[in-house]
Structure 1
Amino acid sequence: MVQLAGTLAEIDDKLSKRHIDLDPSGYFIIYLDLEARLICAKHFTNIIDDRGLAVDPDTGKPIPVRGKVERTASKLFTGRTAKELCIAIFEQNQPCVVTLLDHAAYLGREFVRAEIALINGSEYVQD
């Protein structure tokens, strides 16, 4: 049996800290609506400036990574499962609001995590 260097959690934590390029078409805030039993994904538009920062298209100001930001979502997507939500975003919404493959892969992983939390009744916090 091949032994991994570090636990799966350590590997995942290390990979979560890597540099990623931001999707110029926007970002998602993912959360659960426990009462409706839905995975929700609010999409927000942005512009990537010459420094690689996400900028609010309305104000021209950088969007902070941490803390509360008062912005209006451009779209709200919901699904009962990760697959249903992915179909709504990637297949039924054209043009697609996701333009980078690594962003699509990240969303798929997050939607599965959210689905598991919904099934188990546990807390979901977006990575």
Structure 2
Amino acid sequence: MNLRLEENLAAIDDKLSQRHIDLDPAGYFIIYLDRDAGLICAKHYTNVIDERGLAVDPETGKVIPARGKVERTHTVLYTGRTAKELCVKLLEETKPCPVTMFDHAAYLGREFVRAESALITGAEYVQD
């Protein structure tokens, strides 16, 4: 891919990453790679959305920060060798589905593809 096109595409993604998104009341996911096992991993955490639109810990009522380390226990760990395998497990086979918003499902699909690419190429993966 030519460098200029790659830079333009990166700029579009960077700008879109700054937009406001509503949080899924069903919870959120922390995505990472287990390179030794060759897996894409997604830990699911529950949350409640308060009147300000912020995610709060259902047990403590404290706001869950978007950045930094948070000490919480995940409810489920989902794993897959490919983005498609993980999407099928999470969005089609899990009942009830832990994702209740279409934009959240689309985001997860994009992140799983990025994670799969990093797993294949050996590149670093950092969740957006």
| Separation in 2, partners of 1:36, 1:122 | 16
Q: CA deviation at 1:69?
A: 0.4
TM-score normalised per structure 2: 0.94
**2:32 is aligned with what amino acid?**
Y
The residue matched to 1:60 in structure 2 has which SS? coil
The residue matched to 2:126 in structure 1 has which SS? coil
| Separation in 2, partners of 1:9, 1:89 | 28
Deviations 1:39-91 (A, max 9, x none): 00000000000000000000000001111100000100000000000011011
Q: CA deviation at 1:122?
A: 1.1
Identify the residue that residue 74 of structure 2 maps to in structure 1: 73
Deviations 1:95-126 (A, max 9, x none): 00000000000000000000000000111000
| Separation in 2, partners of 1:59, 1:108 | 30
Is 1:125 matched up with 2:114? no
| 1:59-98 equivalent positions in 2, closer than 5 A | 59-98=60-99
Is 1:10 matched up with 2:20? no
Structure that is richer in helix per residue: 2
TM-score normalised per structure 1: 0.95
Identify the residue that residue 55 of structure 1 maps to in structure 2: 56
The residue matched to 1:119 in structure 2 has which SS? helix
**2:23 is aligned with what amino acid?**
L
Report sequence identity in percent: 75
| Separation in 2, partners of 1:110, 1:68 | 20
Identify the residue that residue 46 of structure 2 maps to in structure 1: 45
| Separation in 2, partners of 1:34, 1:77 | 15
The residue matched to 1:43 in structure 2 has which SS? strand
**2:27 is aligned with what amino acid?**
G
Show structure 1 runs of 5+ residues with no match: none
Identify the residue that residue 115 of structure 1 maps to in structure 2: 116
Q: CA deviation at 1:20?
A: 0.4
The residue matched to 1:50 in structure 2 has which SS? coil
The residue matched to 1:71 in structure 2 has which SS? coil
Write out the 4+ residue segments of structure 1 that deviate beyond 2 Å after TM superposition: none
